[in-house]
């Protein structure tokens, strides 16, 4: 290929590249983008706004569940300062414990099922009592 043809090809490629870049718009504000070929947003604010709007519905659900889990953990920790504690079920319920929400369960060899909110767990005992435990290296379930 001679030098004249390569110059013409370079000019055509630059023209095509310029047209492609001008056609790209920010996904949030629809302003023209310049810069990298894979750029989707004009700045960090547009990127954040776009992703916040995209995840708004799922974030509400997750936030409300996390609030319940944090409240459950706080209630359990308030009544279990020493690592193990036994308390009436009504007292926990009156403070707002929602036993439907927990992070995980633990089943002992005997078949007892503890429900945990992070590091605090509870076990339903007879006579409407609840055993609260803290699962750390010093407390054995």
Select the more confidently predicted residue: 113 or 58: 113
What are the structure tokens assigned to 102, written together? 């927990």
| DSSP secondary structure code for residue 96 in this structure | T
DSSP three-state, residue 103: coil
Q: Is 69 helix (H, G, I), strand (E, B) or coil?
A: helix
- The Cα 134–Cα 116 span in angstroms is 9
**Pairing outcome for strands 84-88 and 104-107:** unpaired
- Please tell me which residue, 7 or 29, carries the higher pLDDT value: 29
- Please tell me the number of Cα atoms within 13 Å of 44 on its side-chain side: 0
Give me the pLDDT at residue 1, please: 52
> What pLDDT is attached to residue 21?
46
Q: pLDDT: is 18 or 122 the higher one?
A: 122
Specify whether the CB–CB gap between 133 and 83 falls below 8 A.
yes
DSSP class per residue in 15-26: HHHHHHHHH-B-
Alpha-carbon distance of 57 to 46, in angstroms, equals 19
Long-range CB pairs of 111-114 (<8 Å, 24+ gap) are 114/141
With pLDDT > 90 as the criterion, what percentage of the chain qualifies? 62
């Amino acid at each position: 290929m001679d030098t004249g043809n390569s110059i013409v090809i370079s000019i055509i490629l630059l023209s095509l590249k310029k047209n492609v870049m001008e056609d790209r718009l920010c996904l949030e504000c629809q302003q023209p983008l310049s810069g990298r070929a894979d750029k989707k947003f004009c700045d960090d604010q547009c990127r954040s706004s776009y992703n916040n709007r995209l995840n708004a519905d799922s974030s509400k659900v997750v936030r409300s569940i996390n609030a319940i889990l944090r409240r459950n953990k706080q209630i359990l920790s308030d009544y279990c300062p020493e690592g193990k504690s036994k308390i009436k079920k009504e007292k926990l319920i009156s403070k707002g414990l929602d036993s439907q929400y927990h992070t995980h369960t633990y089943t002992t060899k005997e078949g007892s099922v503890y429900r945990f909110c992070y590091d605090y767990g509870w076990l339903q005992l007879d006579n409407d009592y609840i055993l609260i435990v803290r699962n750390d290296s010093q407390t054995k379930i």
